[in-house]
Structure formats: C-alpha cells, structure tokens
Amino acid sequence: MRLISGTGNLPLAQAIAGHLDMTLTEAAIRRFADGEIFVEILENVRGKDVFVLQPTSCPANDNLMELLILMDALRRGSARRITAVLPYFGYARQDRKTSPRTPISAKLVANLITAAGASRVLTVDLHAAQIQGFFDIPVDNLYALPVFDRHIRDRYPGLEGVTVVSPDIGGVARARALAKRLDNADLAIIDKRRDGPGRNEVMHVIGTVRDRHCLMVDDMVDSGGTLVKAAAALRESGACSVSAYASHGVFSPPASRNIESSVIENLVVTDSIKASPEIAACSKIERLSLAPLLAEAVRSIHDEQSLSALFDSFPHGAL
C-alpha cells in the first residue's frame, strides 16, 4: 500500500499516514510560470495499491487538476489500483440542471476522475448522496456524524436538554440521523422562506427549542449566512444556547466575521479542508480530525474488508 498527497491538505494526509504507521510517498509537485502543474512520483509504485489524498476545495480548479495529474502519473507508473481519497468533493453543489443550458458539473468532475485512472473513490459527506451514481466506479461516502457524536457526548453529559436542528428543509435527513445517534434526541427544523419577491428571508422554527441546547447540523458552511440567521431565530424562540456542526468548512469570505459576530457559541467542523490563517484564528470555530476515520477506511479497502462499521457504529473510543 502507498499513500500520496497533493498540496490541498497535507496536514490531514500526514495524520492519516501516522495512524497507518507509514510515511507518505514522495512526489515533486510544482507549477510553471504560466500556472501549469507538473508532477513526478519519486518512488516506485509498480503493482502497488495507491491512495491519493486531495480535497478539491479552494482553489478548486488547481486542486482538481493536481489530483488528475497525480493519478495520471501513477497510472503511467503502473500502479495496480488507484483510490482517490477526497475528504471534500468540490463541485458537488452543481449536481443537477437548475435552469436551461446549465451544466451538471458534478457529473463532469466524476467523469474526469474516472478517466484519469481512479479505480475507486473514498469521500466524506457528499452534498447530495445521488452523486455516487455519477461514477461508474465504486464510491464509499463516509459520514462525519460518528466524529461529532463523541464531541457532543463529551460536551453534554447525558445529552441533557439537547435538541438537534436542521437549518433548512433539505437537511432534515442528516439532522434526523444525528438525533437518532444521540439516543433519539429531540428534533427541530428551520423553515426558511421569503415574504415576497426581493424581500428578506424569514426563519420559522418548527419544533420546541425553548430552554434547550440547540445543535444545528449541516454538510458544509460557506459564507455562514444561513447558519447565522438560523441561530438568531433559535435564540429569539427561547433557545438557551446554539452551537453548530458541519462536515466541511468551506468558509468563503466573510465567513469568519459572520461567525464571530453571531449568537453561535461554537461551530465545529472537520479538517476535510485545510484552514486558512483567518479561520484558524477565529475563536468560535473548532476543528475535529477525520484522520482516524479515513485511516480505518483506507486500511479496510486495502485489506478488502467491509466498511460497514464505519458507516453504522464507529466506536466512540476509536476517535
């Protein structure tokens, strides 16, 4: 087995390698003056089972091209199998035609990854589960909920007074799954709508949140606008505290400023995307590592073992 990383999230790759008690395969990755990417694998990979870790986060196009070129270099180096490990799958929000003559970019990216030589894809919390069907190769879509589970239990012993909240209607299934993991905790939903064309959004809280510790859960945080408004609505409805959990911290500006000035007490994200200095300095943002989860998945794939335990009952103590 070999583990190789692009430049998208080297700290996470190093952490995964540490959990597997191995070192990253050496590769030279550099850019020419015009921005072209050049890759050279510096170790023999002939006949090896290679895992390429590279999230396609900002800068999305550069990181995607780096991933594709890495896999092409490995394929031409006669690697036996190439698994693309994408802690964050970019372009996932473009999973359908939203108007005439628009692309389905998530499908295009899936085709590119397959054409570049990937035999399998390992990812975390796809924005839409149906994206798995865009690939003609096996896809393992892990969930960050087991990582959040232990953090919540440590912070709220006995889960006293906890209510899980979906910040929009589309995230109800994810919120319900977390509530079920948390011993069937109470569930609430934010219904976001506009009073009329061009008017401000109004947040309606569905469910009982008064005097409850509200935990919003989402798959990603971009600018943070939706979470901030939802948190304000929860506090206005009587919630005693509001925290948030999101699998991917995209954090487009001015996300850190929005979060810092909001009523959200704590925003927990994974390290699927490398944090910028601005995000790392934000006092309200906490990061949990996906390294143990991804390391176990990599080991299981290499050993041809089932990943079911990672989906259903990843042990609390292992994280």
Would you please indicate which residues are annotated as catalytic (active-site) residues?
Answer: 192
- Contacts of 142 by beta carbon, 8 Å cutoff, 6+ apart: 122, 123, 124, 125, 293, 294, 297, 307, 310, 311
Question: Side by side, which strands form the sheet with 241-249?
Answer: 201-206, 186-194, 162-166, 213-221, 241-249, 266-270, 285-288
Peptide bond preceding 254 in cis form (omega within 30 of 0): yes
**Closest by Cα among 260, 232, 263, 264 to 245:** 264
Q: Report the 10 Å Cβ neighbour count for 76.
A: 11
**CB–CB of 102/315 below 8 Å?**
no
How far CA 314 is from CA of 16, 144, 177, 259, in Å, comes to 17, 10, 14, 30
**Residue located via tokens 């947040």:** 203
Residue 160 neighbours by CB distance under 10 Å: 7
